Amino acid sequence: MSKPLLQATNLQCERDGRVLFDDLSLTIMPATLTRVEGPNGAGKTTLLRILAGLNENYSGEVHWLGAPRAAQREMFQRNLLYIGHRTGIKAALTAQENLAALMAGRHAVSAATLRAALAGTGLAGYEDVPCSQLSAGQQRRVALARLLISDEPLWILDEAFTALDTHGVAALERLLSDHAQRGGAVVVTTHHDLEVPGMQRIRLVPDKVAV
Amino acid sequence: MTAKLQAATTVPVGVVAAMGGVVRRDLQASFRQPQDLLNPLLFFMMVVTLFPLGVSPEESFLRQSGSGILWVAALLSTLLSLDHLFRHDFDNGTLEQLVLQPQPLYLLVLAKTLAHWLVTGLPLVLLAPVLAVMLHLEGNSIAILCLTLLIGTPVLSFIGSVGAALTLGLRSGGVLLSLLIIPLYIPVLIFGTGTVAAAAGGASVGAYLALMGAFLVLSVTLAPFASAAALRISLSNS
Amino acid sequence: MSMWRWFHKFGSPKWFFDIASRLIPWLLGTGLVLLLTGLVWGLAFAPQDYLQGNSYRIIFIHVPSAFLAQSVYLMMASAAVVTLVWKMKLADVFVQTMAPVGALLTFLALFTGAVWGKPTWGTWWVWDARLTSMLILLFLYCGVIVLGRAIADEKSSARAVAVLVLVGVVNIPIIKYSVDWWNTLHQPATFTLTKRPSMPVEMWAPLLLSVVGLYLLFGWLTCVRMQTGILVREHRTSWVRALVRSQGV
């Protein structure tokens, strides 16, 4: 049995005086796909942001590879790929510049690799188009192109399938299960019916949590 | 979407390269949307114009108050531009990605604030001599004034970055930002204008400039700490 | 270890609430007695000033409020450190409930300063270094209050305000120094309210009494306001519900 990548224990989070979840514990193992489910306002995005280390308004503990995450933030972030529902695309920059920006501070990527990744998400020919001229789905594909050149084992994707067409959805599903098969871990929220064998489900219910 | 392109053997990016990337991209984005760059400059000129019109166009008044007018106008236009420092990036999600870079956030925020000064503060310094001539300042005073602005405007940007980070994502963030930051600007304003006044009075200004330099060092080293902490707080709240 | 336990115990809102209930009458009683003694002594019985006559007597209000106004900010800064490092709720209750009190004291110091300025300088307001510094302190307090109110989420609000208070406290000495320098640059030195060559015992004794009295009253107000703040924040906990039931509300 391999070591868990990410472990959260007794998470408790309040927002605007309302308890989103209380005493929530979960483990993200390598080579797994985890789906966080729940109605609107149940705190799915908040949970993902807590797991990604963006939201610090919680009590409870988060461990990365068995040690407290707070003590090894840079190491954790080197191993994390997070895409939120704000995709991280600047309208003024081109698709390629945006992808380069998303890879910034991580690992060195050649221009050829960037273009290949964009082509891999069906954006061949759009590399030098400013993102202000791309559709919402195309902008999301720019952000998702990161998945193709990622070396991070942990992927946390909020509403990953939003704005994608059926073809894009199928391709992304394949990409996620490939990543899990290669030993990576994926945590997603989605309104789309994602079914992958062996998928872990975390169901958030307002004021109640059932795993 | 095709399968993965790259194996896991990758070369991590160093922190200097990461900082350089932040500066380069912010400059790139600003030059593609020049109105963000021009608006504070226009505002700067207009505020300066208000004084001869609203108070007095007399040469003696303008000569005496010119450096103060330019300093106050520079301070106000910096405040105006600070609202953009993080807000666009916050709205489109690039700020989250910046915070998640496996690099010290302190240094990334420092780079970002530096980029902000390059596109907003530096143009103010370059425009100041023209306006100073229109306010009948003398040659020596103009030189000292520009020097104080050159040292002082980055201080304004760095102190202001704390306020910008704290008010991120709040309604009426812009006004709030000014309320939080103006009291903290007072020392720079006092020494900025005071140095020019001392020079006009014939005193030597080396010590004052050194003191402003100390403000600069202090704000560059300390403010990014507070800004980085404030950014994490604002992102926790979004 | 016991020190640590004490610290955490102190951080418990219920524990503080109970202690505060016991302290409140004592702080109020001794504070009022000392302040009133100091004021009556100072205003009615202390000797006249050889230079300013009776108008100097406002220092018996001005000095204590100016003193306290500055210390409240320092206390808030210490509490801000506790908020950021140990995430203690109680520290934030202190910062956010006492900021308006600090602002009020600063305003009182400014107001009494202006009233004192009229007979002394012949004008209500003089850009004197001390008054100007107090005015900037008032602005700092206002910023803290405004930011705290603008952020709805309790935890974010606590941390953001703590950062702002700490940034402020780093700047206060710099502001003070630069305002003093500015004052010497623009105005001939005027004699200030509190810098007196030598104050006879009949003058400083009542002053000391009113300072201590005001501090104790501040302690009383802290307890009362923090109790209210705790009740608001902890209204969902069982002990607050039990308390409310026992009071027959």
What tens digit of pLDDT does each residue of C146-177 get? 999 999 888 899 999 999 999 999 999 999 89
CB contact under 8 A, B180 and C147: yes
The pLDDT assigned to C187 comes to 56
**C182–B194 C-beta distance less than 8 A:** yes
Answer for the pair B161, B227: CB distance below 8 angstroms, yes or no: yes
Considering only CB atoms, which chain A residues are within 8 Å of C154?
14, 17
Q: Is the pLDDT of residue B141 over 80?
A: yes
Q: Please tell me the least confidently modeled range out of A10-14, A142-146, B187-191, C40-44.
A: C40-44
Would you say residue C147 lies in a domain? yes
- 135-194 in chain C: CB under 8 A from chain A: 152-156
- Pick from C32-36, C85-89, C185-189 the range whose average pLDDT is largest: C32-36
pLDDT-derived band at C89, boundaries 50, 70, 90? confident
Confidence class for position B7, pLDDT limits 50, 70, 90: very low
Tell me the nearest-neighbour CA distance from A68 into chain B, angstroms: 17
| Res. C202: pLDDT tops 80 | no
pLDDT band at residue B107 under the 50/70/90 scheme: very high
Of B179, B194, B226, nearest to C143 by CB-CB distance is B179
pLDDT band at residue C18, thresholds of 50, 70 and 90? confident
What is the least distance, in Å, from the CA of A58 to any CA of chain B? 9
Q: Which of C106, C133, C167, C180 to mutate to test the interface with B (most CBs of B within 10 A)?
A: C167
pLDDT band (50, 70, 90) for residue C189: very low
Q: What is the count of structural domains for chain C?
A: 1
Is C154's CB within 8 Å of A14's CB? yes
CA distance C157 to chain A (A): 11
Interface with chain B: mutation pick from C106, C164, C170, highest number of B CBs within 10 Å? C164
The per-residue DSSP string of C85-120 comes to: HH--HHHHHHHHHHHHHHHHHHHHHHHHHHHHHHHH
What domain range includes position C168?
62-193
Instruction: Using pLDDT thresholds of 50, 70 and 90, give the confidence band for residue C8.
Output: low
Q: CA of B182: which chain C residue's CA is closest? A: C139
Q: Rounded to an integer, what distance in angstroms lies between the CA atom of residue A143 and that of residue A83?
A: 7
Establish whether this prediction's ipTM goes over 0.90: yes
Cβ-Cβ contacts under 8 Å, B8 against chain A: 151
Q: What is the dihedral of CA B151, B155, B157, B161, to 10 degrees?
A: 160
Tell me which chain C residues have a C-beta less than 8 angstroms from the C-beta of B197: 185
Token pair recorded at residue C190: 């005027």
Structure tokens of B222? 């300390």
Could you tell me if B198 lies within 8 Å of chain C, comparing CB atoms? yes
Q: What percent of chain C has pLDDT over 70?
A: 88
To test the contact with chain B by mutation, choose from A51, A54, A59, A181 the residue with the greatest count of B C-beta atoms within 10 A, namely A54
**Residues 162-191, chain A, touching C (beta carbon < 8 A):** none
Collapsing DSSP states into helix, strand and coil, what is residue B186? helix
Q: Is any Cβ of chain B less than 8 angstroms from the Cβ of C84?
A: yes
Inter-chain CB proximity A88 and B91 less than 8 Å: no
* C151, closest residue in chain A (CA to CA): A16
Residue C237 lies in a domain: no
**Alpha carbons A7 and A120: distance in angstroms, whole number:** 33
Q: Which residues of chain A have pLDDT under 50?
A: 209-211
Residue A210's DSSP bridge partners are A203
| Residue A104 to residue B13, Cβ atoms within 8 A | yes
Can you read off the two tokens belonging to residue A163? 């704005």
How far apart CA B168 and CA B174 sit, in angstroms, is 9
Average pLDDT over residues C222-227: 90
Q: What string of DSSP letters covers C194-237?
A: S--S---HHHHHHHHHHHHHHHHHHHHHHHHHHHHHHHHHTTTS
Residue C48 lies in a domain: no
Closest-CA distance of chain A to residue B32, Å: 6
Mean pLDDT of C167-191: 80
In a domain, C204, yes or no: no
Q: Which of B158, B162, B166, B212 to mutate to test the interface with C (most CBs of C within 10 A)?
A: B166
Q: Which of B166, B184, B198 sits opposite C160 (nearest CB)?
A: B166
Searching chain A, which residue's CA lies closest to the CA of residue B31? A92
CA–CA separation, B41 vs B74, rounded Å?
A: 9
Give the CATH H-level superfamily of domain A1-79+153-211. P-loop containing nucleotide triphosphate hydrolases (3.40.50.300)
- The pLDDT assigned to C86 comes to 86
User: What is the per-residue pLDDT for B8?
Assistant: 46
The H-or-E segment that residue A20 falls in is strand A18-28
pLDDT at residue A192, rounded to an integer: 79
Query: Is B236 in the C-facing interface, judged by CB distances under 8 Å?
Result: yes
Sketch the domain layout of chain A as residue ranges: 1-79+153-211, 91-151
A neighbours by CB contacts (3+ pairs under 8 Å): B, C
C153 found inside a domain: yes
Tell me the C-alpha distance between A172 and B4, whole Å: 12
Query: Does a structural domain hold residue C164?
Result: yes
Mean pLDDT of chain B: 91
Q: Does residue C1 belong to any structural domain of this protein?
A: no
Residue C2 lies in a domain: no
